[in-house]
Amino acid sequence: MLNQPVLEDGQAPHDSPPPSATAMVLSIAAATFLAHMLTASRYGYFRDELYYLACARHLAFGYVDQPPMIALIVWLTVHTLGTSLWALHFLPAVAAAAIVWLTAVIARELGGGRFAQSLAGLSVALAGVYVIIAHQLSMNVFEPLVWMGSAYVLIRIVKTGNQKLWLWFGALSGLGLENKYSVAVFGFAVVIGLLLTEHGKAFRERWIYLGGLLALAIFLPNLIWNIQHHWPFIVLMRNIRASGRDITVGPAAYLGEQILMMSPANVLIWFPGLLFLFFSRHGKRYQLLGWTFVAVLATFAILKGKDYYSAPVYPMVLAAGAVAIERAARKRFWLKPAVTAALVIGTAPLVPMLLPVLSIPSYLRYQKALGFTPPATEKSHLASPLPQYYSDELGWPEMVAALARVYNSLPPDERARTAIFGQNYGQAGAIDFFGPRYGLPKAISAHQSYYLWGPRQYTGESMIVLGDHRARLEQLFEHVKRAGRFGVPYALEHGSIWLCSGPRGWNLQEIWPRIKNWD
């Protein structure tokens, strides 16, 4: 339980006590959950969600671009709640509420009372990156829970000296690796923090090594899968870097992106939290957390990672900042309402950019009036005036409907041998999800894990291809016809629908290994 309230000085015995920390934090968590559920079906299915639905139909110990946990979570969601947007967004909303509660717990462990716990929970609830990722079903929404669960274990180790708790750290790390590989960066940062503080004595005990072995044991199925498939994730990362797909910035700009990512007003909390962990007499006890935070940011800045890669590490410095502000407010009575007001008022104008509360036309007018567009992380995202996390929720049903008109116009015997080829996992995932209502077969694609699922029974004698170019297709096929178009305003996917036949001396089954697209 979170800390219970104590009576304020001068409070009459018959006065109603103020709400407890537990009640306040749970209220913030409940409001967070409700906000996400009320907007769960506002726009549409996100590109990655359609892909994860496809992965859930091909359960395995690994995939080209992620570990297996997200596919298992989606499989469980589909088989318990269904495939509606509300169903898919239920667990992300729960995770968003849970990180509010966990951040408050960390604030309590750092010595925070009712205000610190409430402010810590509120700061996470209003942090832009957490609001955005909780509107989608992906591994990103569960990652902060793994990192901060591990941070909680670190705090308990510092407070109790119980080295056996490294087993819990190892268990969480192993689960984290099955969710997203970037938890390894957090583990690396913790090692740096241990070496730079007195807590490096943990390396003289066996428990930290046993925790590492436990993490390895949990991660082992995916590790074996990667070895058997020749490390596809590493190949993918190398290809992405070589292609120049991502928009990268220097270290100074990366730090600026961090302030924007967390919502600018939150810097009033997390930066004092970092100072608290390094310089405060009370906070220096937990300096391990401060070094871990710095090491995570430095690692991603050096590796030119996307801004949100570091997001899971922030709740612990937000919690520390809330404790620092609460302690400073003992002599500055105005500080509590001032910081709270600054956080709420500073974040309020950004709400339409974080949650889909407006219609698309209204949002575009609002964005123009505000004079600010959320920065893109990939060059392809610049094709729409909307943020990518909105634009990639648009146009999928319309694309599949246009495709179905082409497919169903073919004679039955031709349909039976016609493959539908998607250029990327978003197109293929949308076809697989929306296609059955039109009688479409499963799509094939050489992109990411779709490549592993192969060309099915198709030879390439007749294909419907989405979004390619006539000149390239004419090099591959004797007959190429533009049969339709797809794309709606502000969606990232636009292009032609090509009907192709008569492959020029090749068979799809034979050339499949040569068209692999891991990028």
The tokens describing 451, both together, are: 């490549």
How far is residue 317's CA from residue 271's CA, in Å, rounded to a whole number? 7
| 3-class secondary structure per residue, 186-254 | HHHHHHHHHHCCHHHHHHHCCHHHHHHHHHHHHHHHHHHHHHHCCCHHHHHHHHHHHHCCECCCCHHHH
| Per-residue confidence in pLDDT tens, the chain, 519 aa | 455 444 333 333 444 567 788 999 999 999 999 999 999 999 999 999 999 999 999 999 999 999 999 999 999 999 999 999 999 999 999 999 999 999 999 999 999 999 999 999 999 999 999 999 999 999 999 999 999 999 999 999 999 999 999 999 999 999 999 999 999 999 999 999 999 999 999 999 999 999 999 999 999 999 999 999 999 999 999 998 888 877 777 888 888 899 999 999 999 999 999 999 999 999 999 999 999 999 999 999 998 888 899 999 999 999 999 999 999 998 888 899 999 999 999 999 999 999 999 999 999 999 999 888 887 777 777 788 999 999 999 999 999 999 999 999 999 999 999 999 999 999 999 999 999 999 999 999 999 999 999 999 999 999 999 999 999 999 999 999 999 999 999 999 999 999 999 999 999 999 999 999 999
Instruction: Give the bridge partners for 484, in sequence order.
Output: 497
161 in the Ramachandran plot: left (φ > 0), alpha (ψ -120 to 50) or beta?
left
Of the candidates 109, 201, 114, 107, the one whose C-alpha atom is nearest the C-alpha of residue 163 is: 201
Are 447 and 243 contacting, i.e. CB atoms less than 8 angstroms apart? no
Alpha-carbon distance of 111 to 180, in angstroms, equals 31
* Bridge partners (DSSP) listed for residue 416: none
Q: Which residues contact 387 (CB under 8 A, 6 or more apart)?
A: 353, 373, 374, 376, 381
Q: How far apart are the C-alpha atoms of 2 and 114, rounded to whole Å?
A: 8
CA 146 – CA 307 distance, rounded (Å): 19
| Token pair of 337 as six digits | 């309402």
Which residue type occupies 62? G
Q: What share of the chain is helix, strand, coil (3-state, %, to 5)?
A: 65, 5, 30
